[in-house]
Structure 1
Amino acid sequence: MSGSRLVSGSRVAVIGGGIAGAGLAASLLFNGRARGVPLDVRVYSHGDPESVPPPVVLTPECRSRLAALGCRVSMDWRAHELRGVEVLAQGRRELLPAPPGGLWVVDGWPNGAGGLAVVREALVTAATAQGARFLDRHVERVERQLPAPDAPAAVKNSGPLVVRAQGSGERYHAVALATGAGASLGDAFFPGFQPAPTVAAVQARVRHGSSRLSIAPLARLWIAPLPTVDGLFLLPGAHSVYALAFGPAVTPADLCQVLMMAARDGLLEEGFELSAMETTRLPFGPGRCVVAPGQVAVGPAALGHPLQIGLSETLATCSRAAVGLLDGGLEAAALERRYVREGLSELMEDAAAGARSIAWLRRAGPRAPEAFLAARRRGSVGGVYSGGVLGLAAPTPLALLASARWAGLREVLGSWLRTTVEPVPTAIPSLEPDLYYVVDDDPDAREAITQLLESTGATVVSFADELALFCAVARRPPTAILLDVVLHWVDGLRLCEGLKQHPLTRNTRVVVMSGLNRPHVRQRALDAGAEAFFPKPVEPERLLRLLMGHAPEAPAPVRVAEGTTGLESDRYAS
């Protein structure tokens, strides 16, 4: 290294082996060779595999950027091509048509890899062909540590940055962080590092009874379907639908409820099932401090917002970072100017506007879909490196923010002049008499209650997983649901509350069971809308009397658990 610039043979570390990490490695090597500066690039790619492999949407710009990095974009990748993106809110919907060149959905799951993995593998292959080395090691921190005066020349020429990974350390001249949203090293990358803020999200794969895609190939964005959900994406994959719900307080139970509503409104085929689900984080604006001497952050770690579809912004940060490191030098001021102010300014404005527009779209309510069309009609086009929302060339995030703000103000003013009326579901399945659902992760308890109810001639469907319950309730509302408190994904009391809030299950009887016979648990169950709370082991006579309306018997003494009071001993909301 000569002074503060990368020269031939300089060592660069990239932390993160996803799309951003592999893209940056390929871009560094490509741009370095073009300038006569071959580099030694190492990518630390250790990371936990996702249990929900996402598909990916490739816009025409995405495909061009991938080709420029040496990726062969095969037609075989394309599962299908979207007709456009439909925006929905409170019963209103508008279609934003796909741009010329089309929106490709890349996906092979479950028979093959998810689309994100397909594109990442292609980028890894392109980067490896140009000389990048991928190391399966977890990075703990990055240190700035000048070599000792008496250190060998090889050490002195290896750079001032030390990457600590699994007990060992290696020296580099420059280090880039490409770990994605929510996985930042924080101050362990460099003191004062402030990556992009994030918002909670839950993603899932929804499979249908048949592999045929009978619903038109549209991506859908549902604005504010629930108070805790800012938006829901539904993206048809090869043999499934990818669902992503985001919001500050979104939970797996929220995603399940919204999927029930989507099935009610015909957005999902009947007979769907949830195959996988996990929580994640999404970028929600620009980072404030993303550079230090010789260090940069790229991809979702630097900026982004939930209304982005595709990889254009991530790949753009990779090319801007490579140019910034090679042409701007390694000093903090030079990187700030070359990479942030000149390279990312438009993208950061877009990220800030996209994040802010979500709050206004929520306020806009039924006017939200029209806000997208109004922004699109303005004909605004982004700058050299910025783009539109939802994978489209227009509207830009800045144009959408202006339209969403105006729509939100009009809706707030209009709400003062009218009474809110809850929308009525388009179709509510008829209740099936003598159909009972039992939800318990304990197979012995599940079997015992099933046999008890079946002995009366009732039809019983038991579930070990509460996710399957949501899918079944959307199709066949039961007479009653018997619900355990401790479940895999969702707290049973939270699930009970959600069932009572949903139009499809609001009038369904719910009985909560638990081995936690405590006053606060009982009270929470009743407050959540449960008809009764039964401590385990459940007394068969009492349960049948409640469910079947048998002649009441003399109340038996209630067992009170050790350490509790008798205040709850005689309360059954039957």
Structure 2
Amino acid sequence: MILGNRLTSGSRVAVVGGGIAGAGLAASLLFNGRARGLTLDVRVYSGGLSERTAPPAVLTPECRSRLAALGCRIPTEWRAHELRGVEIISEGRRELLPSSPGGLWVVDGWPQGQGGLAQVRDVLATAASAQGARFLERHVDRVERQPAAPDAPASVRGAGPLVVRAQGGGERFHAVALAGGAGPLMGDNFFPGFRPAPTMPAVQARLRHASSRLEIAPVARLWVAPLPTVDGLFLLPGADSVYALAFGPAVTPADLCQALMMASRDGLLEEGFELAALETTRLPYGPGRTLVAPGQIAVGPAAFGHPLQVGLSETLASCSRAAVALLDGGLDAGALERRYVREGLCELMEDASAGARAVGWLRRAGKRAPSAFVAAKGRRTSVGIHGGGVLGLSAPTPLALLGAVRWAGLRETMSNWLRMSLEPVPLAIPELEPDLYYVVDDDADAREALTALLESTGAKVVAFADELALFCAVARRPPTAIVLDVVLHWVDGLRLCEGLKQHPLTRNTRVVVMSGLNRPHVRQRALDAGAEAFLPKPVDPELLMRILTGRLTSSGGSNERIAPLPPSETGESDRYAAY
């Protein structure tokens, strides 16, 4: 079964993970083995794949070539949705990085069918199965190195020294590859000292509109640092939906929702979207440190990557190089390290390191970030065999981007030392609409009661059960005031209030916060966020109307249950908190 340190015909190889990397490695192993006259027994453990968000896939020309080389049939309908380019946005500045004709295909069937990554995975799995790979719906718990005892049967001694433990059972293999993505990995359960690619938290979501919005030449967008906790927001349009991905060291689902509302307010998303799916995930954030052991190897996002790496070319490249390394001497740790890491992945890992460092510099570059992308794209850099650029484009390369954005970040830092920061003011601010009130509450009874109360005074009321459309509505049609609940579905009302007060288009909007959580710290947080008043639930109708109509003064009687607040930094003293 083995010849020296090489796999031979009949050798058994396990692939842990049945995603793009797992199916791609299985196909590449069998393809390269057959080219050498070897017949391998490849098993793919594909259990544990359960992404609710169903991300799309971006296929570059090189990625399509790699798929075709592995025997994949590329459906003609995959080219129906082509990106015109990627727009970079930061602090009001925008730059479009165009893609070459036929450059970027968005493969996606959601919500009627599968997401693009699942479709590509199925095509790869079909190609691998046609060559003899077997896919097992089992979740792997650990991999153990247990050489067979000398007195064990010949079938056991020849089955390999590695035992894959999956759902209570165990099978022996000569080599094992980890292709489980960048999520929670096996760590030392793969092999002692295994150090995969570092990861960064991310949140992904699917946005759906009431009607199909298929565009002839859509544009993807990267919004740099829309929030302090978000390093980047990536918006990828599909035929019937938009895929959103927010990443950052402390990003949360609430951060993504707030960033989406801001994107809608600024015209980056169309009005009326619905958040149809949302989940947390993790993205690779640089190269791994220890990726191999005798007969064991990590591929794809488990080995390297960065948040600006859009597309599948690098993952498929690691699969082909891992297959060659395993066949050339994969049972020897030194040979595997040399063939796979130092010779095979050297350039890819340099790109991963540069891409991860560029993310941090993009935030420092501020408004200079979009122009840094343009400058990096124009730089002449040596492109390696995989020709990888950032965001799925052929250029700029991660190294070119790192150099340009580092210089932009230093210039921006120096400029901030020499001048005061002036916030850009929108060119046109819509006029406030008198007697228009917005009510935001996920409780239908409370929402209807407040709507009826305000409408009884002759006011116009728009009620929101879903807070995601609020930012867009306020920016386009400013109300007299917003009555806002604290506990909402996606983002708490205090963060909503704070977000409204941080932008010139919505800063002057009056906000009254209400909540059944009548605690001093909640009241204080509401007022610190910029609320005009805090009211406990159930809301006193007369008290609410006095606040909204401006008839409430600091000299009100004790029966009004109102306490005046200290003057704010702007000299205002007209905010009140209800007891």
Structure 2 counterpart SS, 1:61:
helix
Structure 1 counterpart SS, 2:6:
coil
TM-score, structure 1 normalization: 0.91
Query: How does 1:21-36 map onto structure 2 within 5 Å?
Result: 21-36=22-37
CA distance in 1, matches of 2:19, 2:372: 34
- Does 1:233 find its partner at 2:238? no
Give CA-to-partner distance per residue, 1:422-455, whole Å, 9 cap, x none.
Answer: 1123444443333333333333333333333333
Q: CA deviation at 1:507?
A: 2.0
Q: CA deviation at 1:86?
A: 2.3
Change (3 A) 1:440 1:186: farther
Structure 2 counterpart SS, 1:13:
strand
Q: CA deviation at 1:323?
A: 0.9
Give CA-to-partner distance per residue, 1:515-556, whole Å, 9 cap, x none.
Answer: 322222222222222222222333333223222345787544
1:398 alignment counterpart:
399
Alignment check: 8 A CA contact 1:201 1:246 kept: yes
2:568 alignment counterpart:
none
1:135 alignment counterpart:
136
CA distance in 2, matches of 1:236, 1:73: 21
Alignment check: 8 A CA contact 1:381 1:394 kept: no
Q: CA deviation at 1:38?
A: 1.4
Query: How does 1:372-391 map onto structure 2 within 5 Å?
Result: 372-391=373-392
Alignment check: 8 A CA contact 2:21 2:179 kept: yes
1:154 alignment counterpart:
155
Q: CA deviation at 1:501?
A: 1.9
Change (3 A) 1:426 1:551: closer
Structure 2 counterpart SS, 1:263:
helix
Change (3 A) 1:571 1:379: closer
Alignment check: 8 A CA contact 1:11 1:39 kept: yes
**Bigger shift: 225-234 or 340-349?**
225-234
- Does 1:198 find its partner at 2:185? no
CA distance in 2, matches of 1:440, 1:413: 45
Structure 1 counterpart SS, 2:316:
helix
1:479 alignment counterpart:
480
CA distance in 1, matches of 2:457, 2:489: 29
2:103 alignment counterpart:
102
Structure 1 counterpart SS, 2:135:
strand
2:572 alignment counterpart:
none
Change (3 A) 1:537 1:5: same
Alignment check: 8 A CA contact 1:79 1:107 kept: no
**Bigger shift: 293-302 or 194-203?**
194-203
Structure 2 counterpart SS, 1:416:
helix
Alignment check: 8 A CA contact 2:272 2:469 kept: no
- Letter aligned with residue 352 of structure 2: A
Listed as ranges, the gaps of 5+ residues in structure 2 are: 563-574
CA distance in 2, matches of 1:49, 1:396: 32
- Letter aligned with residue 94 of structure 1: E
1:258 alignment counterpart:
259
Q: CA deviation at 1:146?
A: 2.4
Change (3 A) 1:87 1:422: same
2:335 alignment counterpart:
334
- Letter aligned with residue 490 of structure 1: V
- Letter aligned with residue 246 of structure 1: F
Give CA-to-partner distance per residue, 1:269-326, whole Å, 9 cap, x none.
Answer: 3444433333222111111111122111111111111111210001111111111111
Query: How does 1:283-432 map onto structure 2 within 5 Å?
Result: 283-432=284-433
Q: CA deviation at 1:58?
A: 0.8
CA distance in 2, matches of 1:33, 1:344: 23
Change (3 A) 1:476 1:22: farther
CA distance in 1, matches of 2:216, 2:210: 13
Q: CA deviation at 1:99?
A: 3.1
CA distance in 1, matches of 2:91, 2:125: 43
Structure 2 counterpart SS, 1:572:
strand
**Bigger shift: 303-312 or 235-244?**
235-244
Change (3 A) 1:36 1:474: farther
2:577 alignment counterpart:
572
Alignment check: 8 A CA contact 2:432 2:479 kept: yes
Give CA-to-partner distance per residue, 1:117-160, whole Å, 9 cap, x none.
Answer: 21111111111111112222222222222233433222222222
Q: CA deviation at 1:57?
A: 1.3
Change (3 A) 1:260 1:536: closer
1:269 alignment counterpart:
270
Alignment check: 8 A CA contact 1:256 1:470 kept: no
Structure 2 counterpart SS, 1:330:
coil
CA distance in 1, matches of 2:541, 2:511: 17
1:165 alignment counterpart:
166
Alignment check: 8 A CA contact 2:434 2:479 kept: yes
Identity of aligned residues (%): 78
- Letter aligned with residue 347 of structure 1: L
**Bigger shift: 438-447 or 279-288?**
438-447
Alignment check: 8 A CA contact 1:270 1:475 kept: no
CA distance in 1, matches of 2:577, 2:227: 31
**Bigger shift: 120-129 or 141-150?**
141-150
Give CA-to-partner distance per residue, 1:147-180, whole Å, 9 cap, x none.
Answer: 3343322222222222222222222221111111
- Does 1:544 find its partner at 2:545? yes
CA distance in 2, matches of 1:441, 1:193: 47
Q: CA deviation at 1:474?
A: 4.5
Alignment check: 8 A CA contact 1:265 1:426 kept: no
Alignment check: 8 A CA contact 1:526 1:533 kept: yes
1:564 alignment counterpart:
none
Alignment check: 8 A CA contact 1:271 1:475 kept: no
1:91 alignment counterpart:
92
CA distance in 1, matches of 2:161, 2:471: 55
Structure 1 counterpart SS, 2:23:
helix
CA distance in 2, matches of 1:154, 1:437: 74
1:65 alignment counterpart:
66
CA distance in 2, matches of 1:142, 1:480: 60
Change (3 A) 1:526 1:220: same
CA distance in 2, matches of 1:341, 1:525: 55
2:565 alignment counterpart:
none
Change (3 A) 1:158 1:85: same
- Letter aligned with residue 135 of structure 1: L
Structure 2 counterpart SS, 1:70:
coil
Alignment check: 8 A CA contact 1:364 1:411 kept: yes
Alignment check: 8 A CA contact 1:264 1:426 kept: no
Alignment check: 8 A CA contact 2:5 2:332 kept: yes
**Bigger shift: 104-113 or 289-298?**
104-113
Change (3 A) 1:13 1:545: same
- Letter aligned with residue 293 of structure 1: P
1:565 alignment counterpart:
none
Alignment check: 8 A CA contact 2:199 2:285 kept: yes
- Letter aligned with residue 432 of structure 2: L
2:522 alignment counterpart:
521
Alignment check: 8 A CA contact 1:438 1:461 kept: yes
TM-score, structure 2 normalization: 0.90
Alignment check: 8 A CA contact 1:479 1:508 kept: yes
Alignment check: 8 A CA contact 2:265 2:471 kept: no
Give CA-to-partner distance per residue, 1:182-202, whole Å, 9 cap, x none.
Answer: 231222222221111112222
Q: CA deviation at 1:573?
A: 6.5
CA distance in 2, matches of 1:133, 1:415: 59
CA distance in 2, matches of 1:54, 1:426: 36
- Does 1:117 find its partner at 2:122? no
1:280 alignment counterpart:
281
- Letter aligned with residue 409 of structure 1: L
CA distance in 2, matches of 1:390, 1:162: 39
2:224 alignment counterpart:
223
